[in-house]
């Protein structure tokens, strides 16, 4: 950079250099600020991704638990499934089966109390299932005795609804967690039970 100064402005010699340095300092500060903002935004996006993984894992635990409840009621057994781990409760054989069928009282409130589903290498959903009640549905075969009216299959027990609360805790990468609580109604004798 070549600077020209006239001899008449002897008091202003070097002022252009000072202005240039001030502009360079301002541009450096703006560049550092932009870099910092970009790094923070990248971290926010990463945290949001991890949180969404945990949320969707917890969300997957609800319908998976509902299908497990339906399978247990329909087969009267606690199935052995890949990527499903049942909690052990004081040496009781099939504790989840006994709780879902209503033989044993509700065992607590920790989502890790009943069953854990593994959905991937870093994601699991643990579910606490509580049987909250039963109801005979109007129009069901149980109500009319013949099985031809409305929902149900008569002698197969159709028209009875069993209600459950499902507390699903999804765990994702970086120790992220999300919790979803839902209700499920199993209608005995109807496929899927919804």
Q: pTM higher than 0.85 for the full model?
A: no
Q: Residue 34 to residues 20, 28, 46, 81: CA-CA distances in angstroms?
A: 21, 10, 18, 51
The per-residue pLDDT for range 8-34, each reduced to its tens digit, is 555 666 788 899 999 999 999 999 999
The per-residue pLDDT for range 124-133, each reduced to its tens digit, is 999 999 999 9
Q: Helices in the chain by DSSP H: which ranges?
A: 15-75, 95-100, 141-144
């Amino acid at each position: 950079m070549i600077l020209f100064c006239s001899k008449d402005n002897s008091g202003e010699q070097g002022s252009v250099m000072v202005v240039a340095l001030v502009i360079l300092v301002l541009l450096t500060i703006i560049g550092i600020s932009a870099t910092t903002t970009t790094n923070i935004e990248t971290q926010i996006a990463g945290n949001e991704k991890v949180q969404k993984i945990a949320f969707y894992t917890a969300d997957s635990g609800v319908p998976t638990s509902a299908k497990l409840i339906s399978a247990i009621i329909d087969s009267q057994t606690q199935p052995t499934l890949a990527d499903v781990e049942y909690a052990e409760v004081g040496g009781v054989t099939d504790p989840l089966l006994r709780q879902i069928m209503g033989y044993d009282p509700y065992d607590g409130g920790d989502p890790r109390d009943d069953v854990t589903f593994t959905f991937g290498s870093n994601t699991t959903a643990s579910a606490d299932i509580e049987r909250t009640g039963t109801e005979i549905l109007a129009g069901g075969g149980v109500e009319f005795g013949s099985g031809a009216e409305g929902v149900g299959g008569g002698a197969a027990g159709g028209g009875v609804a069993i209600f459950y609360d499902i507390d699903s805790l999804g765990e994702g990468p970086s120790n992220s967690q999300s919790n979803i609580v839902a209700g499920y109604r199993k209608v005995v004798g109807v496929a899927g039970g919804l």
